[in-house]
């Protein structure tokens, strides 16, 4: 490293050294050191710097209330999953966390136990059931379980025009910690790739596909909120998830049925599927 380069880094570090908030000071000093180190390591050219600024500018322009290109960028760079890993407690037996994703919506409808969360979403009917337990033992009753997923065409309700709510909802667990609902069997789909992040993936020879999954957000007093997915076993994209969210412990077999009696006692005609998975939460005392 030349003295000229070091002088620039030293001057910028000194400018943040007096930051009053100690955490902000720690973050900014580390950011400057690593960012400057990156530029020196790759010998960043002026044209490359300009291309990077243009990339970020276009990411800002395409971002709106329905699309967050910067979260997408964080996802495909693995930063989202790394942040999950950094903050996830190492509690034996607890359900592993994964990325939140951009398609959660506040105000989703409440779905009664055994109810239809699909609400018109197109796809093969799928009965999903399981229990919520604490890692320190015992079922968790009255816990809020939010669920959302894409339809058979790979789209979430918010990606369609209008205000329709489909493929999402929430319910409270019963006295034994159980939850159960109908939705549609998730299918693989591409992350939005018609913008700067898609261009980056194409330039790197990477695909935009995510394996089939359902999102879960589980909220219980006295426990760490769980953000996770369950992935469908056998999906061809399990080994190449564009956002690195797959974990072996979250892969679930979808049982396929042709007519007959469903787990809720109803009689079904035609093809339907079922998945069962238990969710284990971390008590707040175990977070550290």
Q: Is residue 63 part of a domain?
A: no
Do residue 278 and residue 139 come from a single domain? yes
pLDDT average, residue stretch 31-36: 98
Higher pLDDT, 154 or 102: 154
Do residue 259 and residue 183 come from a single domain? yes
Q: Is residue 73 part of a domain?
A: no
Specify the pLDDT at position 176. 96
Do residue 274 and residue 165 come from a single domain? yes
DSSP bridge pairs for 126: 183, 273
pLDDT average, residue stretch 107-124: 94
Do residue 232 and residue 111 come from a single domain? yes
pLDDT average, residue stretch 63-85: 93
- Dist. CA 143–CA 219, nearest whole Å: 6
- Residue 174's domain spans which residues? 79-286
Specify the pLDDT at position 190. 95
Do residue 256 and residue 117 come from a single domain? yes
CATH number of the domain where residue 181 is located:
2.60.130.10
Give the chain's length: 288
Do residue 28 and residue 86 come from a single domain? no
Q: Answer yes or no: are the C-beta atoms of 127 and 272 closer than 8 Å.
A: yes
Specify the pLDDT at position 287. 56
Q: Is residue 67 part of a domain?
A: no
pLDDT average, residue stretch 58-86: 94
Residue 288 has pLDDT above 80, yes or no: no
Do residue 16 and residue 86 come from a single domain? no
Do residue 146 and residue 17 come from a single domain? no
Do residue 33 and residue 137 come from a single domain? no
Q: Is residue 72 part of a domain?
A: no
Q: Is residue 57 part of a domain?
A: no
pTM, full prediction: 0.90
Tell me the average pLDDT of the chain: 94
Q: Is residue 56 part of a domain?
A: no
Instruction: Identify the band that residue 101 occupies on the pLDDT scale cut at 50, 70 and 90.
Output: confident
Q: Is residue 31 part of a domain?
A: yes
Specify the pLDDT at position 105. 87
10-29 per-position pLDDT tens digit: 999 999 999 999 999 999 99
Do residue 35 and residue 140 come from a single domain? no
Specify the pLDDT at position 134. 97
Do residue 115 and residue 253 come from a single domain? yes
Q: Is residue 70 part of a domain?
A: no
pLDDT average, residue stretch 83-106: 92
Q: Token digits for 66?
A: 């329905």
212-234 per-position pLDDT tens digit: 999 999 999 999 999 999 999 99
183-206 per-position pLDDT tens digit: 999 999 999 999 999 999 999 999
Residue 272 has pLDDT above 90, yes or no: yes
Q: How many domains does the chain have?
A: 2
Do residue 31 and residue 91 come from a single domain? no
- Dist. CA 190–CA 192, nearest whole Å: 6
């Amino acid at each position: 490293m030349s003295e000229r380069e070091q002088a620039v880094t030293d001057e910028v570090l000194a400018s943040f050294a007096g930051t009053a908030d100690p955490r902000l000071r720690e973050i900014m000093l580390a950011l400057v050191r690593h960012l400057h180190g990156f530029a020196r390591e790759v010998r960043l050219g002026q044209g490359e710097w300009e291309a990077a600024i243009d990339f970020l500018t276009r990411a800002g322009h395409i971002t709106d209330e329905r699309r967050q290109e910067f979260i997408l960028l964080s996802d495909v760079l693995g930063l989202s999953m790394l942040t999950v890993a950094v903050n996830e407690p190492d509690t034996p037996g607890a359900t592993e966390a994964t990325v939140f994703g951009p398609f959660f919506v506040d105000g989703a409808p409440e779905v009664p136990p055994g109810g239809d969360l699909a609400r018109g979403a197109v796809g093969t009917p799928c009965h999903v059931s399981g229990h919520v337990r604490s890692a320190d033992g015992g079922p968790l009753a009255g816990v809020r379980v939010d669920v959302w997923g894409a339809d058979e065409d790979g789209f979430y309700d918010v990606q369609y025009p209008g205000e329709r709510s489909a493929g999402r909802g929430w319910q409270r667990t019963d006295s034994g910690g159980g939850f159960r609902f109908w939705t549609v069997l998730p299918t693989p789909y591409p992350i939005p790739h018609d913008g700067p992040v898609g261009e980056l993936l194409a330039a790197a020879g990477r695909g935009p596909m995510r394996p089939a999954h359902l999102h879960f957000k589980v909220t219980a007093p006295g426990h760490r909120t769980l953000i996770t997915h369950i992935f469908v076993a056998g999906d061809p994209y399990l080994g190449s998830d564009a956002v690195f969210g797959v974990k072996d412990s979250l892969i679930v077999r979808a049982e396929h049925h042709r007519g007959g009696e469903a787990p809720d006692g109803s009689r079904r005609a035609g093809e339907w599927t079922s998945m069962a998975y238990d969710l284990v939460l971390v008590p707040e005392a175990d977070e550290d």
